[in-house]
Structure formats: C-alpha cells, structure tokens
Amino acid sequence: MVPNSVGHLGSLLETFLPWLGLVVVVLLVRALVCRSASALMPLLLPVAAWTHLFGGLLLPGAGPGPRDLVVVQHNVSDENTDPAGTARALADAGPDLIALEELVPPALAVYARALAPHYPYHAVQGTVGLWSKHPLADARLVDIKPRDIAERWSRGLRTVVHTPYGDIAAYVAHLPSVRVGADGLASSRRDESAALLGRAIAAERLETVVLLGDLNGTVDDRGLAPLTSRMNTAERGFALSFPAAFPMARIDQVMARSATVRQIRALAATGSDHLPVTARIALGRTSDRDDNGPAPTTTVAGDATRHVCGVSGAAASRSATVPDMMVRMCAVMCSAGQSHQATASSRAMSRSS
C-alpha cells in the first residue's frame, strides 16, 4: 500500500487507479508481439486484479426497478455562461432529483426559473442546492467547513425528500478542492471536510440516505473513506466527470445508505468544467453493507489483491461483482508458468551435462 504520509501520494495514486490498467495493456501487447511466455506470465495476475477491482463497472446494469430513484449530480461552475441551457439539459434527463454546486447570483435565479416547471420543490444552502419532483422538508445547513477557513463558507445541505416509496435524507455537498504540486497532493482540507460530512451522515436518523456532490475525489481515494466506508457506491459505470474537456476521473459522486446505486453514467457537456452524472438508485435495504461499516470481505484471494493494490472499501465492494475465481486461476497459471520454466531449465542443464 502506498502511504499517505508524504504528499498524500497514496490518494494521488488512487485517484487515477483505473488508468494503471493501460500500463498493463501496453506490457501485455509487447509480450504478445515478442511471443515471450516469460514476459506474459507475470502480467496475468495484474490483469486479473484489475478485472477483479474494476471489471464489474463495465458489465451491463440491471433494468429499471419498481422503486428506482433517478438523480443527477452536477457542479455547474460559477463561470458558466449559459445557466439556462445547463438547467434545460439536466431537466431533459428526467431525474427525480437534481443536485447542483457552485450556485452563485445571479445564475441561481436563472436555475430556479428554468427548473421550476418540472421541479417545483427546491432547497439551497450557500452555494449548493437540490431540486426535486417530490416534496422537500426540514432543509438545513450541514457544517463541513475546515477549521482554517475563516470566511463565510456554506457547502453542505441536508433535507428530507418525501418520495412515493418513503422518506429519505438527501445530502448535497461540495468538498474543498485538491491541488497537485511539487509536494504531492494537497488534500488536507478535503479530507477534513469529508470526515465532518461522514460524521453527519453517521448521525442521520433516517435509515435511507442519498449523498450527491462534487467530492473532489474518487471513490477509491482513501481520503473519502469516512463516506465510502458508510455508503454504497455505483455498481456499474465509470462516469468520468472531470475535467469536461478530457475526463480523467469521476469526482462527482452519488452514494447511498440502505439503498443501492445500480448504475452511473456521464451526460453531455454543459457550460461547466465538469460533466453532469446521472445515477439510478434502487431504494430499499441492501444486503452487502450495513449502515455503519464497509462491505464484508469475500475471499482470501480477493483480500490479498486489494491489500497489495491499496484500494479502498468502495473498490472492494465493487469487486464482488466479478468472480474471485479469476484471481485464483491466474495465480495458479502464474505458478504453473514458473514451474514450467523451472522444469525446462532443469532439462536444459541435464542435456548440457
């Protein structure tokens, strides 16, 4: 596991963890071109590990269910020059809930007018807001401000959504930005804010909770562990959302407690530097994670792979969708390859003598 003690290098690696598969692909192609069995065998285990951790995201999702809630999450950007067009694009996706961040005047009024015909209920706290087809109640600020920020800073919202399937607590959050510099990843503020938000959600009395927000981190980043250890993340879809011009990571997240985020995908670009994401949430209690802790581990082989890669609980829970047998099989193949090479070497020595 890459430590976070120096420059948060562990979090930086985890942000782009799925892209490490490209390195393996390049080495795999080179081994195939060179027809080198000795170069191919060691690559089988990394291929299986990547498939085990992320392959499930590529599988087709289940069809719509009777208790599904469709949501859209979008950081609309405080520099967006077309808020009305952005609002129309989000509404055209037909979600039940729309969560927005970086709401600033006068754009806030434009979003409110454009969304009002189809989303008559909304709540705003500071620069974050939620628009809903269903009635909202008890909206309030969630204090996630880091200690070293002195100025006014309101980026957390909690409200109750009266859905046809029962009341749920909806949280909208915009965690502090992170920066990559010579000293590594500057994420201390983000991590502190994530811990505050995690404590607020842990104290939430309603059983079903949905979190929508720009969390400035991926679900594999250990800095978001206060959230990913308590909530389910998407079972299907990568939905890379930032930067919009060339998406490299999904930092716009949809998570749920006592519900399942079945599928997540990115929508077409708007006037923001983020892409919107939409997700389908199956309401109802889940079997793979309780309200207060991460998903249980599944197999020894899977756990070993996750420990070596230094992957968070979110990736661990996703990996259960791809059989652990692949990891075991490739480990056996690697062992078989090493045994074959040893036998061949022994025979060669015998012939030479």
My answer on whether 160 and 305 are in the same domain is no
Do 216 and 156 have their domain in common?
Answer: yes
pLDDT of res. 90: 98
Does residue 143 share a domain with residue 197?
Answer: yes
Q: Which of 38-42, 82-86, 116-120 has the lowest mean pLDDT?
A: 38-42
Q: Same domain, yes or no, for 228 and 341?
A: no
Whether 80 and 154 share a structural domain: yes
Domain count, the chain: 2
Query: What's the CA gap between 252 and 264, in Å, rounded?
Result: 11
Q: Supply the pTM of this predicted model.
A: 0.76
Q: In CATH, what number is assigned to the domain containing residue 248?
A: 3.60.10.10
The mean pLDDT of 290-316, rounded to a whole number, is 42
Is 17 part of any domain? yes
For 303, half-sphere exposure in the C-beta direction (CA atoms, 13 angstrom radius) is 6
Q: Which of 236, 252, 283 is the last residue of a domain?
A: 283
Least confident of 133-142, 172-181, 294-303: 294-303
Tell whether 166 is covered by a domain. yes
Q: Is the domain of 154 the same as that of 119?
A: yes
209, 269: one domain: yes
Whether residue 317 is predicted with pLDDT greater than 70 in this model: the reply is: no
* End residue of a domain, out of 260, 283, 306: 283
For the cut 70, the answer to whether the pLDDT of residue 275 exceeds it is yes
pLDDT at residue 87, rounded to an integer: 98
Looking at the domain assignment, is residue 3 inside a domain?
no
pLDDT tens digits, residue range 94-135? 999 999 999 999 999 999 999 999 999 999 999 999 999 999
In a shared domain, residues 218 and 248: yes
Residues 230 and 303 both lie in one domain: no
Burial of 286 (0-12, 13-18, 19+ CB in 10 A): middle
Please check whether residue 195 lies inside any domain of the structure: yes
Tokens found for residue 314: 């979110």
Order of strands, edge to edge, in the sheet holding 97-101? 121-125, 128-132, 97-101, 68-75, 277-283, 259-266
Q: Are residues 115 and 202 in the same domain?
A: yes
Same domain, 139 and 43: no
Residue 97 and residue 145 share a domain: yes
Range of the domain at 50: 9-57+298-352
CB 276 within 8 Å of CB 264 = no
Write the pLDDT tens digit of every residue in 204-215. 999 999 999 999
Residue 289 belongs to a domain: no
**79 is a domain residue:** yes
Name the least confident of 143-157, 212-226, 275-289, 290-304: 290-304
- CA angle (55, 60, 62) in 5-degree steps: 125
Q: Name which of 150-164, 169-183, 314-328 the model is least confident about.
A: 314-328
